[in-house]
Chain A
């Protein structure tokens, strides 16, 4: 499809396991964002890429969270040694150009549950 694609759609992991969440942005989109959405809350910013460069990772909650976009297209968000508070929906968004005016196009998200 032409939209932002995220996989898996659902992920269940035991506390302490590592997980990897994938995002396929819209082809040609320069900017890519990751957000975390807790139940009943608005999305919270995690990190931002412009092409392959990670320009802002100030929203990552701890050093257990790591994101990459090595070729400036697909991005992976990795969470090491997961904890129960990591349970949330992880949203990926992309926009055509850099800049604050660009509407972001969101994927359906990955719902992560940590047991």
Chain B
């Protein structure tokens, strides 16, 4: 079973629109970490944010914000006032931390291709 589901395969928006990328995860571990990575056309995965399972406080960093809700097992990512440079594939990932888990191993979703048009 897929541990991380990103149901949106592709999203297209026009510059300055807000856009939310959805991520739903599944784990039996009580301690885990969630990540978002950005993959531009160059191919390198760029780390954006990490949250742990005990901290449900939402976070804002400039135009980026993240909404973590354990009750719905979701960790959604919103870009406010999108820009052309935001065009990339965005991946949500899960790392499990309970005993027996391979510490650090990332389970990725399939990614969401975001295209921002000028």
Contacts and interface: CB of A to CB of B under 8 A. Distances in A.
A42 B50 contact: no
A42 B38 CA distance: 11
B43 interface: yes
Contact of A42 (B44, B46, B111): B111
A31 interface: yes
B110 A100 contact: no
A107 interface: yes
B102 interface: yes
Interface residues on B, range: 20 to 34
A104 B106 contact: yes
A93 B46 CA distance: 11
B43 A41 contact: no
B100 to A, nearest CB: 11
A56 B106 CA distance: 13
Given A42-B93, A98-B104, 19 more contacts: A33-B106, A35-B108, A41-B111, A42-B4, A42-B91, A43-B45, A45-B107, A55-B102, A58-B102, A98-B103, A100-B101, A101-B33, A101-B50, A104-B106, A105-B47, A106-B44, A108-B43, A109-B43, A111-B43
